[in-house]
Amino acid sequence: MRIEVPIKNRISVQWVHILWLFLFIICFTLQSLDLVGSFQFDRHQIEKGNYMSLLTGHLVHLNWNHWGLNMVGLVIVAIFFSLYGSLLDWLFVLVFSALSVGIGLYWWHPEVIWYVGLSGVLHGLFVYGAIRETRFYPFSGYVLLLLLAGKLFWEYMNGALPGSEEMTGGRVIVEAHLYGAIAGLAAIFITWPLHLLHKLVQVKNRQQDT
């Protein structure tokens, strides 16, 4: 039986919005204080043992245009997808996507010396959110997945989308988008058994109460 979610609840305030707000504030603060160089993904620093830059590199951006574009993506996630997971769900997807992108770039792309931006992580969040959306809003969920797949295929074959590098003011590392999307897909399979177990516990508790 499909569970229908009223449209009005689709954009209602959720506890997970605290996570998105905190992420927004962190990104804004680091950009305002011009700390990009200190927090960026830096291969040389990672090789010296500074593994935190695998995560912190996603929090800083090339410039304010780059920051603004990524924050628009974050707002879209916050408004339309927050309903589809708990605070812990989204925190896991966020960190898992960030680590997947960072490790993927470090391990398979030695030519990438430094990297900044949230776009790879956003691809993970979008894929996870779109897949979860298919349960409640199949049409929009599958359309979004199709668009994301088309975008990734274009980038794999042709590189960055036309105009994207001009808007961000630098090279777009499209491999980060792919690794983020794969992480979002993997997160579905990782969290699904936990959701199933949670539902079974709820059913068992209701049966005991009756």
What distances in angstroms separate CA 152 from CA 29, 41, 76, 192, one per listed residue? 30, 22, 19, 24
9 pLDDT band, cuts 50/70/90, is low
The stretches of the chain forming alpha helices (DSSP H) are 7-10, 17-32, 36-39, 43-47, 53-56, 64-80, 87-108, 119-133, 138-158, 164-168, 174-209
**Tell me: the pLDDT tens digits for 191-201?**
988 777 767 76
What end-to-end distance do the CA atoms of the chain give, in Å? 22
Other Cβ atoms within 10 Å of 39 Cβ, number: 20
The pTM assigned to this predicted structure is 0.91
Domain ranges of the chain: 7-209
Placement of tokens 């996630």 in the chain: 77
**Tell me: the pLDDT tens digits for 94-146?**
999 999 999 999 999 999 999 999 999 999 999 999 999 999 999 999 999 99
Name the fold adopted by 7-209.
Answer: Rhomboid-like fold (1.20.1540)
Q: How many CA atoms lie within 13 A of 99 on its CB side?
A: 9
